Amino acid sequence: MKHLSEQELVEYRYADAADRAEAALHLHECAECRAAYERLERVLAAVDALPVAEPSADYEAQLWRKLAPQLADRKRGFDWSAWREWLAPRRLVPIGAMAALILGAFLAGRYLHRPDQGPNVAVNNAQPAPQQVRERILLVAVGDHLDRAQTVLLEISNAETDGTGKEAKRGEVDISQEQQRAESLLAANRIYRQTAEHSGDNTVANVLDELEPVLMDIVHSPSKVSGPELAELQKRIEAQGLLLKVRVLDSSVRDKTRTPAPQPGTRGL
C-alpha cells in the first residue's frame, strides 16, 4: 500500500488535493497515515491557539487621528516608500553592481577614445558620447541577462516527466538547478526593468515585466515538480509567448550592441 506523502496530507487538510476522495479512503483504511494526519492536526491546532492581539475599542478613531494629517500630503506627495524599497539592503548588491557598470561606462566614455583624437577632428561628431557608451554597456548587460533567462525558460519548456499516462502524472522532474539560476536572475531582472522604465525604454521594460512573475514562479515551485506542475509552468511560459518575446528582444539588443560606434571624423548614429 502506498502511503500518503507529507504534501498529500497537507493538500488533503486544505482541500487542495486533486483526488481528495481517494485520499479520504486511504486515511480511513491506513492507521499509519491516519496517525500522521492527526499529528499534523495537532500542530495546526497549536498554531490556531496562538493569541491574536485585539486592537482597543477606539482603534478606528485612533487610526484615523494618525492617518488624517498625512492624507493631504500623501495624495500628491513624493512616494518615499518606493525609495525606501529601492534602497533596501537586499537591493544594494545589484544596485552597487549597476552603479559600478554606469561608472565603468562613464570612465570608458571619457577616456577610451582620447588617444584617437587628432587636432583637426571635429569633436562633436568624432566619438560616441559618454551617454552612448553607457547605453551600449547597459545593452550588453541586458543582452547577457536575456541569454541566461532564455536558457532557464528553454530548459523548463523542454523538460519532460519520465513516463507516460499515469506514470507521467506521478513522475517528477528536478528543477533545482533552474531554480537557483532563476533566483539570481530575479534580482537583476528587477533592476534592469526599473532602469528601462526610468529611461523610457518600454519595449525592454514590458518584456522584463512579463519575465519577472514567471521567474518568481519557478523560484517558488517545488524543487521536484510533478507532471501537472511542470505542465502548468510550461503553459504559463507558452501562453504569454514569453520565450519568443525574450528571444526577439535579445536579438534586437544584440543587433544594437553590434552596430559599430561612430568613428572619428564621421557622422554620429
CB of 77 to another protein, least distance (A): 8
| Contact between 167 and another protein per CB under 8 A | no
164 interacts with another protein by CB under 8 A: no
CA distances from 244 to 20, 85, 204, 248 (A): 38, 31, 14, 6
Closest distance of CB 224 from another protein, Å? 10
Residue 71 in contact with another protein, rule: CB under 8 A:
yes
* Residue of 2, 28, 31, 90 interacting with another protein (CB under 8 A): 90
Is residue 238 close enough to count as binding another protein by CB under 8 A?
no
CB 244 within 8 A of CB 211: no
Separation in Å, CA 99 to CA 95, 129, 191, 239, 268 = 6, 19, 11, 35, 27
Q: Among the candidate windows 2-10, 128-136, 154-162, 249-257, which touches another protein by CB under 8 A?
A: 2-10
Please say which residue, 127 or 161, places its beta carbon nearer to another protein.
161
> Using the rule CB under 8 A, which residue among 171, 222, 262, 264 binds another protein?
222
Q: How far is the CB of 207 from another protein (least distance, A)?
A: 17
Cα 249 from Cα 207, distance rounded (Å): 8
Residue 221 touches another protein, criterion: CB under 8 A: yes
Q: Which stretch binds another protein (CB under 8 A): 67-75, 115-123, 244-252, 258-266?
A: 67-75
Q: Which of residues 188-217 bind another protein (CB under 8 A)?
A: 213, 216-217
Site string (23-42) toward another protein, x via CB under 8 A: ------------x---xx-x
Could you tell me the smallest distance in angstroms from the CB atom of residue 55 to another protein? 5
Of 229, 243, 248, 261, which lies in the binding site for another protein, with binding defined by CB under 8 A? 229
Minimum CB–partner distance for residue 37 and another protein (Å): 11
Count Cα neighbours of 165 within 13 Å in the Cβ-side half-sphere. Answer: 1
Chain contacts with another protein (rule: CB under 8 A): 6-7, 10-11, 13-14, 16, 35, 39-40, 42-47, 49-53, 55, 59-60, 63-64, 66-68, 70-71, 74-75, 77, 79, 81, 85, 88-90, 213, 216-222, 225, 228-229, 232-233, 236
